[in-house]
Amino acid sequence: MPRPKLSLGRLRGTGRLPSKLLSLSLLICAVAALIWLFTEPRWFVYAENVEVSELTYLDAAELVRAADVEGWSILWLRPHAIRERLMEHAYVADADVSLRLPNRVLIAVEEAHPVALWVTKKGTFWLREDGTALPSRSEIDPTLPRIIDGLQDARALHRPDVEAINRQVLDSGLALMQQLPELENNVRYDRGVGFNFHLPTDAVWIYWGDGYNTQTKLSNLSAMRTLVTNGEEPAQIIDVRYLNRPYLR
């Protein structure tokens, strides 16, 4: 009597159901693990879990709000995204962000500091390198260069959405005060004559104009001051705005 032949297909099929059940079980476990990871309370960040360091005048709570991390699972947070939010804060020059499990956020902040002061009728503003003007957040440093501009004639007109000084005026003013230490870090600006100042050693007022051609203006100023000092040309004003024809009056 011939032996019955075994079907290879039947043998293969006998393992399909257990295999499917195993795959389904693994999937359920993976989903459960993900749900646990993203809902477990200990992964969530709150204000007390955020550490902000290297502050001198800014308030840590203010920066925690700017970071916008409260109530989020740490698994959803990305350091670069937190840094971008912090950099939108006007008084933050730079920030370094790191995460620590289960729910700690570490933020090291470099605070913005002024390169000069803008003295106006509205108040004295800090000036950042890009010309942005900010209300002072700490005691004003008396050694900082001052651009005195009561009517804010040097305002950056191309930045109507923020308080800012014209960048060219800022850079020129800083360069001028560096070139003329007699100014004692103070220079005036107005729309009519540009930079103008009084040197402590002279009885004349100087109209400087814009910040260009500094060396030529310095040469013209030196020659004019010599004439006035020697009594050859009495004057109340030395005007060096026009390079080829500086004059006294």
What is the signed CA dihedral for 138, 166, 172, 139, rounded to 10 degrees? -10
147 Cβ contact partners less than 8 Å away, ≥ 6 residues apart: 116, 117, 118, 119, 127, 154, 165, 169, 170, 173, 187, 188, 189
CATH 3.40.50 fits 116-248, yes or no: yes
What was the pLDDT predicted at 212? Answer: 87
Question: Residues in the chain, how many?
Answer: 249
Using one digit for the tens of pLDDT, what is the confidence trace for 31-57? 666 666 666 788 899 999 999 999 999
Closest CA to 191 of 223, 243, 155, 153: 153
CATH 3.10.20.310 fits 42-111, yes or no: yes
Q: Token pair 């800012």 is at which residue?
A: 164
pLDDT band at 209 (very low <50, low <70, confident <90, very high): very high
pLDDT band at 173 (very low <50, low <70, confident <90, very high): very high
- Across 107-121, 136-150, 230-244, least confident range: 230-244
With DSSP H G I counted as helix, E B as strand and the rest as coil, what are the percentages for the chain, rounded to 5?
Answer: 35, 25, 40
pLDDT for 188 beyond 60: yes
Q: Is 114 in contact with 107 (CB distance < 8 Å)?
A: no
Q: What residues form DSSP beta bridges with 51?
A: 106
Domain 42-111 shares a fold with domain 116-248: no
What was the pLDDT predicted at 4? Answer: 54
- Across 4-8, 63-67, 179-183, least confident range: 4-8
Domain boundaries, the chain: 42-111, 116-248
pLDDT for 230 beyond 60: yes
Q: Is 85 in contact with 66 (CB distance < 8 Å)?
A: yes
Distance (Å, rounded) from C-alpha 207 to C-alpha 195? 6
Distance (Å, rounded) from C-alpha 142 to C-alpha 170? 18
Examine residue 200 and say whether the peptide bond preceding it is cis (omega within 30 degrees of 0). Answer: no
H-helix or E-strand spanning residue 96: strand 92-100
Closest CA to 64 of 107, 6, 28: 107
pLDDT for 11 beyond 60: no
Burial of 110 (0-12, 13-18, 19+ CB in 10 A): exposed
What was the pLDDT predicted at 107? Answer: 98
What was the pLDDT predicted at 102? Answer: 93
What was the pLDDT predicted at 232? Answer: 76
Closest CA to 124 of 91, 147, 154, 153: 147
82 Cβ contact partners less than 8 Å away, ≥ 6 residues apart: 67, 68, 69, 97, 105, 107
